[in-house]
């Protein structure tokens, strides 16, 4: 969101915590997290779970025609999308009009839902129209934000996160919504508010001072 100073301080904080725990490898499931951390955690290997699944020979088979929604964060390298297509290689996979480097945003990118909701929904609708045009039975994503956004405009089951298919589970979006609504209420809310305040103290960005240990 443009808070570059805070971002760098939090990355350094994360690196110190990982080093203290003796971590040598960090596995990511989110293309955005991977893109953010891959070049900033010195001495720690950052690897995507999709690469590990591909290297392990995981390949999902079936007769359902699938299409892939690539993450915006993966446009440059295409690595997540390439690994995902190998994992789905036992299914017939058809591409949407825009894919890979030419993929279009699901609508969630750039905090659009907060500052430009109409733009957000127009992007989502456009992507869903491309999905419908493929006549695929399911659109598979690698990003939870994409999954949730796109699933809001199609019948249940027509958008699935890749890990839902790999581990034969189903994301409960209604439960996610309930958790979000109640995260600031009751005892859980007290804990979360305390953690938020601690984060403010750590970054000190709101107070105009430099954080200790940076």
DSSP string, 23-67: --EEEES-HHHHHHHTTTSTT-EEEEHHHHHHHTT---B-SS-EE
Distance between CA atoms of 57 and 12, rounded to whole angstroms?
A: 35
- CB-CB contact of 71 with 146 (8 Å): yes
pTM of the model: 0.81
C-beta atoms surrounding 190 within 10 Å: 11
Architecture of the CATH domain 58-173? 3-Layer(aba) Sandwich (3.40)
Query: Could you read off the pLDDT of 57-114 as tens digits, one per residue?
Result: 999 999 999 999 999 888 888 899 999 999 999 999 999 999 988 999 998 887 777 7
Other C-beta atoms within 10 Å of 152: how many? 13
- Looking at residue 207, what is its pLDDT? 52
What H or E segment, with its residue span, contains residue 119? helix 117-134
Position 181 pLDDT exceeds 80: yes
Whether 182 has a pLDDT exceeding 60, the answer reads yes
Q: Where are the domains of the chain?
A: 58-173, 174-214
Residues 112-131: pLDDT tens digits? 777 778 888 999 999 999 99
């Amino acid at each position: 969101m443009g808070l570059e100073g805070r971002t760098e301080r939090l990355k350094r904080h994360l690196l110190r915590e990982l080093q203290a725990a003796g971590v040598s490898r960090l596995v990511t499931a989110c293309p955005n997290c991977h893109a953010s951390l891959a070049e900033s955690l010195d001495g720690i290997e950052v690897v995507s779970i999709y690469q590990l699944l591909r290297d392990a020979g995981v390949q999902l088979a079936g007769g359902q025609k699938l299409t892939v929604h690539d993450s915006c964060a993966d446009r440059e390298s295409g690595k997540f999308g390439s690994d995902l297509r190998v994992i789905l290689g036992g299914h017939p996979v058809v591409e949407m009009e825009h894919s890979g480097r030419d993929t279009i945003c699901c609508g969630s990118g750039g905090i659009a839902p907060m500052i430009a909701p109409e733009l957000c929904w127009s992007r989502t609708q456009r992507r869903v129209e491309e999905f419908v045009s493929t006549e695929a039975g399911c659109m598979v994503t690698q990003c939870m934000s994409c999954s949730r956004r796109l699933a809001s405009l199609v019948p249940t089951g027509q958008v699935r996160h890749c890990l839902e298919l790999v581990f034969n589970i189903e994301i409960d979006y209604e439960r996610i919504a309930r958790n979000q609504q109640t995260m600031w209420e009751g005892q859980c809310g007290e804990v979360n508010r305390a953690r938020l305040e601690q984060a403010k103290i750590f970054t000190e960005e709101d107070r105009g001072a430099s954080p200790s240990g940076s």
